Amino acid sequence: MDSIKKIISRYKKDRTRLLDILKEAQTVEGKISDQAIEAVAAALKISRAEVEGVISFYHFLSDRPTGKYVIYLNNSITSEMSGREKVALALEKEANCHFGQTSPDGLMTLLETSCIGMNDQEPAAIINGVIFTSLNEEKVKKIAGQMRKNIDVQEMVEEYGDGANQHDLVRAMVKNHIRREGPVIFGDYQTGQAISQVLKLTPEGVIDEIKKANLMGRGGAGFPTGLKWELCRREKSPEHYVVCNADEGEPGTFKDRVLLTERPEMVFEGMVIAGYAVGAKLGILYLRHEYTYLKRYLEYILENMRQNGFLGRKIAGHNFDFEIEIKSGAGAYVCGEESALIESAEGKRGDPRDRPPFPVQNGYLGCPTTVNNVETLATATQILNHGSAWFRAMGTPVSAGTKLLSVSGDCDRPGIYEVEWGLTLNGLLDLVGAKDTLAVQVGGASGQCLSEAGFGRKLCYSDLATGGSIIIFNKTRDIFSIVRNFLDFFIEESCGWCTPCRAGNVLIKNKFEKIVSGLGTASDLAEIEAWGKLIKATSRCGLGQTSPNPVLTTLTNFREVYEKKINKETDFRSEFDLARSVEQACQVTGRKFEEEREDA
Amino acid sequence: MPEKLKFSIDGREGLADQGMTIYEAAKANGVYIPVLCHYEGLKPVGSCRICSVLVNGRWMASCTQPLSEGMVIENNTPQVIEYRRAIIEMLFSEGNHFCPACEKSGNCELQALAYRYSIMVPRFPYQFPQRQIEAYPGFLLEHNRCVQCQRCVRAIQTEDGRKIFAMKNRSKDVRVNVDPKLAAKLSPDQIQKAMDICPVGAILKKEVGFIRPIGQRKYDRQPIGSEIEGKK
């Protein structure tokens, strides 16, 4: 208990550090014990029920005992396509327990988790914070053997990935897979140059330049960045904050991981620029828990920037102070939503807030806050380096500049592509070496599933707007498996706050399974569509408002697949299939089942 | 006095004070917008979504959305009523609501809403979730009937702001979690308040069941919302 008390006092009994305190307590004890919960609640002057509420919200916090090695195996659709099931079975065999359990000898705990940002090197897992990629049965056997010998998990990483993945403070087997370097993110760049330029301008001048560049949010929603900064700056408040949203959790996206690995200075510089523009003194990098392996490296980069005068007091010799601190989530997709992210950064459950007021009015600790995506901030740095005219010369008239795409699934070269806005899907499919493509999922689970008819469409804000997740499925793939994976994802990741998202997504999934099992009718198709529209219209945040998209967009683009499944002869069929239900009993008794008929 | 805001709801013109939500503005003008999670005097949280209205073609929760000048609000139109009814039905299919056996029958806002919106049976299959009943010194927590409105979370706190009721888990498993030590210290008045504020029969004060007989209860004589509509 002394160690718990030490952790609490190190964080100065600060309520906003609750997540950090709980995570450290878990590291010490292997779980968050009853006594730890009581101690934390007492010290932070909150109820025990509140602490339990926070623990139960996040994937990576647990009040149940775990094994020495905690294995989180990713269950994204690309993981499934790359042989996840075999890996899962091999893990269960080695651990001698099922997923959701701890092995009898207390060595391993097997858990599932949603997309961990390694879609281009699946199946991937996180074991005690260390990333393992491209797993197969052999590797599982080897890793399990090492666990039995009590080898430290970091020592199990034999080969490091490319670039900064090899850095002493990272030492990860993660690969960058940068396939196409574009002129913005991967263009000419020298750390600090943009900051020096910016500090010669007025904050309004900086906002003006970003506005002229027509920079729009790169996370998916596409809100104009200059306007966001301006709205935030206009709010009167003693403090303003900048938050960099590095909680990329949309299935299939991993570009921010690569950006933070290879261009962290550009991102941090963007935060300093944003801070100057909105009048903030503190920036927070909200790093998704899955990327904790990058944290020490990123802190080292921040320290370097401080040493070189690009962070801290009197930046670049000007009268401007700005600090950046790193805060981490604990595993929750919904925290990518900006108001949920702020709640989480304040150490609470990651429930989204009601809007208005928007974060630019009432954000972190109730102060005006601009929340920007990692790529948006990096792009802002380059706009200030090279000018808005340079930026606008790329892309389309509406969608200026370039976009990082995270490409995964059935293609020869999955990875990161920096392309100009306006590229067609067909153009992209050629670029990445995709053949016999059946479907392309643009924008992750919350985006849309397009069929060949849509491959001529353009990636840009006025057509296919996207945060950059592109998952490719070839003709051997089953549309229903894809939809099922995404629906399960949303059910898992809904915060449960509002009725349509909490209850509705389960109802949609059940109806979907009824249709897939062959028991559906035309009215089921009409109903699932109507229910989907209702959930989209009435849900409280972006998660619920997009959660029926897997069903709705495949119903539009792959209608024939559904039509084939439904029973056209009747307009009513119960979910209950009598013949199937008594099948086993019939086999045992040797009787043959015959359906009773009214006319018999 | 700051200038009043003009708006229209279902074709009726209205005036309301600055800073009011759509729900409050409608109420001030004698128009009832149904709410379940919202409760006078508590910060609105927009969790049930029953108060959803259409404003210039966009859906909004009227309990959290501030009114702005010139809003054209659809409240009693077929599409709004249809969605509202569906959300009420979702709540019925998501939990285990057996009105005839419930202490709160006649005082239950969910039941009253179902009557008001002429719901005979939900369009959604019943989920029959496995839920527990928890017993505390002065009250019972009946999870089968809980609609996750968070009224108790907001209304019942200790003097120094600690929450006796807090949300636990997420998604379909989200539920109200009680702090047992703090709950044991609740006074009979606080427990009565918790029971009264609960829109359904999830929080029940022990030993006072059926004090007011069925037939004489809040919604036995007139539908929910009449008290607002009767004003003008």
Instruction: Look up the CATH number of the domain holding residue A127.
Output: 3.40.30.10
Q: Name every chain A residue with its beta carbon within 8 A of the beta carbon of B94.
A: 499, 502-503, 506
Does B200 reside within a domain?
yes
* Claim to verify: residue A135 and residue A244 sit in the same structural domain: no
Chain-centre distance for alpha carbon A362: 24
Judged against a pLDDT cut of 80, whether residue A593 lies above it is answered with no
A47 contacts B124? CB cut-off 8 A:
no
B44 contacts A496? CB cut-off 8 A:
no
Judged against a pLDDT cut of 80, whether residue A376 lies above it is answered with yes
Does B39 reside within a domain?
yes
CATH number of domain containing A415: 3.10.20.600
Which of A48, A343, A528, A541 is the mutation pick for testing B, counting most B CBs within 10 A?
Answer: A48
Backbone angles phi, psi at A188, to 5 degrees: -55, 135
Does A78 reside within a domain?
yes
How many CB atoms are closer than 10 A to CB B154? 18
DSSP string, A248-307: --STT--HHHHHHHH-HHHHHHHHHHHHHHHT-SEEEEEE-GGGGGGHHHHHHHHHHHHH
* Claim to verify: residue B32 and residue B142 sit in the same structural domain: no
Domain region containing A48: 2-57
**A256 vs A376: CA distance, rounded Å:** 10
Judged against a pLDDT cut of 90, whether residue A1 lies above it is answered with no
Does A378 reside within a domain?
yes
CATH number of domain containing A493: 1.20.1440.230
Judged against a pLDDT cut of 60, whether residue A576 lies above it is answered with yes
* Claim to verify: residue B68 and residue B90 sit in the same structural domain: no
Does A551 reside within a domain?
yes
User: pLDDT-derived band of residue B148, with 50, 70 and 90 as boundaries?
Assistant: very high
* Claim to verify: residue B121 and residue B148 sit in the same structural domain: yes
User: pLDDT-derived band of residue A60, with 50, 70 and 90 as boundaries?
Assistant: very high
Average pLDDT, chain B: 95
Q: What does the pLDDT read at residue A572?
A: 73
**A555 vs A553: CA distance, rounded Å:** 5
Judged against a pLDDT cut of 80, whether residue A439 lies above it is answered with yes
Does A174 reside within a domain?
no
> What's the 3-state SS for A409-439?
ECCCCCEEEEEECCCEHHHHHHHHCCCCEEE
pLDDT in tens, A442-480: 999 999 999 999 999 999 999 999 999 999 999 999 999
* Claim to verify: residue B134 and residue B190 sit in the same structural domain: yes
Q: Name every chain A residue with its beta carbon within 8 A of the beta carbon of B179.
A: 47-50
* Claim to verify: residue B34 and residue B100 sit in the same structural domain: no
Q: Does A48 touch chain B (CB under 8 A)?
A: yes
Does B224 reside within a domain?
no
Q: Which of A444, A477, A510 is the C-terminal boundary of a domain?
A: A477
Judged against a pLDDT cut of 90, whether residue A573 lies above it is answered with no
Which of A18, A38, A44, A50 is the mutation pick for testing B, counting most B CBs within 10 A?
Answer: A50
Does B218 reside within a domain?
no
Residues 6+ apart with CB under 8 A from A431: A180, A417, A419, A423
* Claim to verify: residue B100 and residue B150 sit in the same structural domain: yes
Q: Does A523 touch chain B (CB under 8 A)?
A: no
**B11 vs A390: CA distance, rounded Å:** 51
Which of A498, A508, A573 is the mutation pick for testing B, counting most B CBs within 10 A?
Answer: A498
Q: Which residue of B has its CA nearest to A533?
A: B83
Q: What does the pLDDT read at residue A592?
A: 81
* Claim to verify: residue B146 and residue B167 sit in the same structural domain: yes
Average pLDDT over residues A367-371: 98
Q: What does the pLDDT read at residue B153?
A: 98
Q: How does DSSP classify residue A308?
A: T
Residue B95: CA count within 13 A, CB half-sphere: 26
* Claim to verify: residue A364 and residue A283 sit in the same structural domain: yes
Residues 6+ apart with CB under 8 A from B43: B154
* Claim to verify: residue B143 and residue B196 sit in the same structural domain: yes
What does DSSP say about strands B175-178 and B165-168: parallel, antiparallel, or unpaired? antiparallel
Total domains in the fold of chain B: 2
**A452 vs A446: CA distance, rounded Å:** 19
pLDDT in tens, B161-215: 999 999 999 999 999 999 999 999 999 999 999 999 999 999 999 998 888 999 9
Sheet holding B5-9, edge to edge: B12-16, B5-9, B72-74, B52-55, B58-61
Q: Which residue of B has its CA nearest to A514?
A: B125
3-class DSSP state of A509: helix
**A274 vs A287: CA distance, rounded Å:** 18
Does B211 reside within a domain?
no
Judged against a pLDDT cut of 90, whether residue B159 lies above it is answered with yes
Q: What does the pLDDT read at residue A594?
A: 73
* Claim to verify: residue B10 and residue B115 sit in the same structural domain: no
Does A168 reside within a domain?
no
* Claim to verify: residue B65 and residue B92 sit in the same structural domain: no
3-class DSSP state of A563: helix
B47 contacts A49? CB cut-off 8 A:
no
B94 contacts A499? CB cut-off 8 A:
yes
Judged against a pLDDT cut of 50, whether residue B141 lies above it is answered with yes
Q: Which of A492, A510, A538 sits opposite B83 (nearest CB)?
A: A538
Q: How does DSSP classify residue A16?
A: G
* Claim to verify: residue A311 and residue A427 sit in the same structural domain: no
Structure tokens at A431: 């670029």
3-class DSSP state of A493: helix
* Claim to verify: residue B94 and residue B187 sit in the same structural domain: yes
Residues 6+ apart with CB under 8 A from A49: B163, B164, B165, B166, B168, B177, B178, B179, B182
Total domains in the fold of chain A: 5
Judged against a pLDDT cut of 60, whether residue A596 lies above it is answered with no
* Claim to verify: residue B108 and residue B34 sit in the same structural domain: no
Place of tokens 């349509």: A500
Domain region containing B46: 5-76
Judged against a pLDDT cut of 70, whether residue B232 lies above it is answered with no
Q: Which of B76, B100, B133 is the C-terminal boundary of a domain?
A: B76
**A223 vs A359: CA distance, rounded Å:** 13
Q: What does the pLDDT read at residue B2?
A: 67
Q: Are A358 and A364 in contact (CB under 8 A)?
A: no
* Claim to verify: residue A127 and residue A206 sit in the same structural domain: no
Please state, in angstroms and as integers, the Cα–Cα distance from residue A188 to each residue in A182, A193, A263, B134, following that order. Answer: 10, 11, 12, 63
Q: Are A425 and A459 in contact (CB under 8 A)?
A: yes
Q: Name every chain A residue with its beta carbon within 8 A of the beta carbon of B169.
A: 56-57, 496
* Claim to verify: residue A483 and residue A473 sit in the same structural domain: no
* Claim to verify: residue A188 and residue A274 sit in the same structural domain: yes
**B36 vs A497: CA distance, rounded Å:** 14
User: pLDDT-derived band of residue A599, with 50, 70 and 90 as boundaries?
Assistant: very low
User: pLDDT-derived band of residue B1, with 50, 70 and 90 as boundaries?
Assistant: low
**B219 vs B193: CA distance, rounded Å:** 19
> What's the 3-state SS for A177-242?
CEEECCCCCCCCCCCCHHHHHHCCCCHHHHHHHHHHHCCECCCCCCCEHHHHHHHHHHCCCCCCEE
Q: Does B53 touch chain A (CB under 8 A)?
A: no
Does B119 reside within a domain?
yes
Q: Which of A46, A497, A506 sits opposite B172 (nearest CB)?
A: A506
Does B212 reside within a domain?
no
**A329 vs B49: CA distance, rounded Å:** 28
CATH number of domain containing A312: 3.40.50.11540
User: pLDDT-derived band of residue A600, with 50, 70 and 90 as boundaries?
Assistant: very low
Does A62 reside within a domain?
no
Q: Which of A158, A193, A214 is the C-terminal boundary of a domain?
A: A158
Q: What does the pLDDT read at residue B209?
A: 86
Does A171 reside within a domain?
no
Does B229 reside within a domain?
no
Average pLDDT over residues A59-86: 95
Does A30 reside within a domain?
yes
Please state, in angstroms and as integers, the Cα–Cα distance from residue A157 to each residue in A137, A161, A166, following that order. Answer: 16, 10, 11
Residue A82: CA count within 13 A, CB half-sphere: 26
User: pLDDT-derived band of residue B231, with 50, 70 and 90 as boundaries?
Assistant: low
* Claim to verify: residue A539 and residue A596 sit in the same structural domain: yes
